[in-house]
Structure 1
Amino acid sequence: IWAISSENNDKIALVDPGDALVCIEYLQTNNLMLTAILITHHHSDHVGGIAKLL
């Protein structure tokens, strides 16, 4: 899982969010708003968390 963000705002894009719980914890801990999800390919370890993040 990769996170792409800017230092100047609270918006973030996640790349290949295979584990939603890890992503949600990171977003909440850092007070970030998920604005995009990027997927490199369709393997469960890359797309497994998408449904819970939407």
Structure 2
Amino acid sequence: MVSYIGIQPNEVSISDNRLYISGFYGVKWPLDEITKVELVDTIPNIQVRTNGFA
């Protein structure tokens, strides 16, 4: 079951003045707390992983 959830694509949406990111470790952020958004070509290298699927 966990592996099935882990391979599902995450979804990003905005509703009720919040940014929602779905997934196993999904999050909700109030839009008024977001101060900067960047589009980057690569993601940062992961230095330490204490928990997670992949």
TM-score scaled by structure 2?
Answer: 0.21
Instruction: Name the structure where strand makes up a greater proportion of residues.
Output: 1
TM-score scaled by structure 1?
Answer: 0.21
